[in-house]
Structure 1
């Protein structure tokens, strides 16, 4: 199970990287075409959709690496037992919130598909396609949160805490800023 979950987080991060690279390609194509007095129809819309995909697909892997914004001022000062309880409470709250986000973004995708909603820009993209990254990415984040919830229930240190501690031990405070 651990391998499958890690593969899911890595695949999601790979999709985020691919989306980001595609934004680069679209922008470079715009530059080249502009020099030839040509246009790239729908490039702005496509870049915006890819930006959303990059963000949502990166959530799960970023969370697992402890690189999402996290305020530990209170948790870091608690004793281990109290910290574990608070960690479970916060992870439970985060899971509830992400389940809500995942459900409603999935509903939005289904509705866009049902009514055959098209983008209003120069290229009429079917909007359910770019919207699909939102429930997929938030669903992967939900899985990552539940993964950490189970780990804390089992008495383990969350991977995001371990990752932050390892970075701090190596003198890397870049994710803490």
Structure 2
């Protein structure tokens, strides 16, 4: 199960990287086409959709690596027992919130598909397609949060805490700024 979950997080990060690279390709295509007095129709909309996909697909892997913004002012001052209870509480609240986001973004995708909603820009993109990144990405984040909740429930140190400690031990404080 661990290998499957890690593969899911890696695949999601790969999709985020592919989306980011696609933004680069779209922008460079725009530059090249401008030199020939042509336009890339829908490039702005496409870049915006890819930006959302990049963000949402990166959430799960970023969370597991401990690179999302985290405020530990209270947790860092607690003893091991109290800290574990607070980690569980915070992870449960995060799971509820992210579950809510995943549910409603999925409902939005379904609604866009049912009414055949299209973009109002120069290219009439079917909007359910770019919107799909939101429930998928938040769903993967939800899985990562539940994964951490179960690990902490079993008594393990959260992966994101271990990752931050390893970075600090190696002298890398870039994520702490």
User: 1:173: which partner in 2?
Assistant: 173
User: 2:112: which partner in 1?
Assistant: 112
The alpha carbon displacement at 1:53 in A equals 0.1
Q: Distance in 1 between matches of 2:7 and 2:72?
A: 28
Q: TM-score by structure 1 length?
A: 1.00
Give 4+ residue runs of structure 1 displaced > 6 Å after superposition.
none
Q: What is the aligned length?
A: 177
CA RMSD of aligned residues (A): 0.2
Unaligned runs of 5+ in 2: none
The alpha carbon displacement at 1:116 in A equals 0.1
Q: For 1:88-132, what per-residue CA distance to the aligned partner results, in whole angstroms no more than 9, with x for missing partners?
A: 000000000000000000000000000000000000000000000
The alpha carbon displacement at 1:71 in A equals 0.3
Q: Distance in 1 between matches of 2:175 and 2:65?
A: 10
User: 2:136: which partner in 1?
Assistant: 136
Unaligned runs of 5+ in 1: none
Q: Secondary structure at the match of 1:68?
A: coil
Q: How does 1:69-88 map to 2 (within 5 A)?
A: 69-88=69-88
Q: Secondary structure at the match of 1:53?
A: helix
Q: Distance in 1 between matches of 2:29 and 2:127?
A: 23
Q: For 1:15-52, what per-residue CA distance to the aligned partner results, in whole angstroms no more than 9, with x for missing partners?
A: 00000000000000000000100000000000000000
